Amino acid sequence: MKFTIYQESRIGKRANNEDRLAHCYSRDALLIVVADGMGGHHYGEIAAQIAVQTLTAAFQRVALPEIPDPFLFLQKAMTNAHHAILDFSKEHNLSDSPRTTCVACIIQDNIAYWAHAGDSRLYLLRAGKVVFRTRDHSRIRVLLDQGIINAAQAAVHPDRNKIYTCLGGPLAPEIEFSRKTPLEAGDVLALCSDGVWGPLPDDLLAIALQNTNLMQAVPTLLDQAEVLAGAHGDNLSIVAVRWEDSYVEDETSAESIVSTQTMSHDTVTTKLEEFGRNPAYKSELTDEEIERAIEEIRSTIQKFSK
């Protein structure tokens, strides 16, 4: 595999960042995941952290070097994350379980497989245009599909931030899966929370990520989203990957291109911030509380490592 990847998360105008994101890869497979936590105080970010750590931990166990059944992997990992969040809530006697959206994608053999629950999105971009976008699991999306409201009304609707499925809720999550999607050289996959896609028109997002240097394009895109979101902007998180199967290096991005050809079969590389460790994730917790939360998250995930 050969690809360029860049991820970034910002707090926006919120008091705390409840988004989490990660990517990890073996010689023959790549996992990308974004989760947007809900639940208030620090529990929303714990739900999101459990989601991304559950998926990355499962990938590290299974992708040696590829995933036998990517759709089954996504289904099991996301379901395990859901139950791990519920278990955390039960152990801590929480009156209401923290919840999180989740969108995740596996790429191997030049084919993308993705799944999502909630309104964090995946975009497939080709030649500066949106080829595919996941369908939000939101009340607004249902109203739009039924023709009850239009796009202008949706933008100011009081229920625009309400979703009907997620991980950690009282009901089993409604996980929606893609079809097997072949990728072409130069395709860009962007996974992001609603703090990114909410303020940005699709065409602006697609054009911005057409830039071959994602390390320049993504921060610029987040700058635009923050400005457009205004004083009440949400957390902003995005992982973007440009698929490079032509093996022709571009001088502007060659240093950032990942090539997995020389990786051994049993090696996995992961980029995932530990809970409370990223300076961008401001938290009201003390260092002692963060340490305890880290240990509790690890313990919870280990129960569902099957």
pTM for the full model? 0.90
- Tokens describing residue 98: 């923290």
CATH of the domain at 56: 3.60.40.10
pLDDT, tens only, 231-274 = 989 999 999 999 987 434 444 444 468 888 778 888 889 888 77
Helix (H) or strand (E) holding 222: helix 214-229
For the chain, what percent of residues have pLDDT higher than 70? 91
Q: Which of 5, 254, 234 is nearest to 105 (CA)?
A: 5
SS (H, E, C) 146-184: CCCCCHHHHHHCCCCCCECCCECCCCCCCCEECCCEECC
Domain count, the chain: 1
| Residue 40 or residue 2, greater confidence | 2
Most confident of 65-79, 84-98, 132-146, 152-166: 65-79
State which residues form the domain around 81. Answer: 2-303
Q: What is the DSSP string of 190-220?
A: EEE-HHHHTTS-HHHHHHHTTSS-HHHHHHH
Length reported for the chain = 306
Q: Could you give the angle at which helices 287-303 and 43-62 cross, rounded to 10 degrees?
A: 50
Helix (H) or strand (E) holding 126: strand 121-126
Q: What is the mean pLDDT of residues 221-238?
A: 95
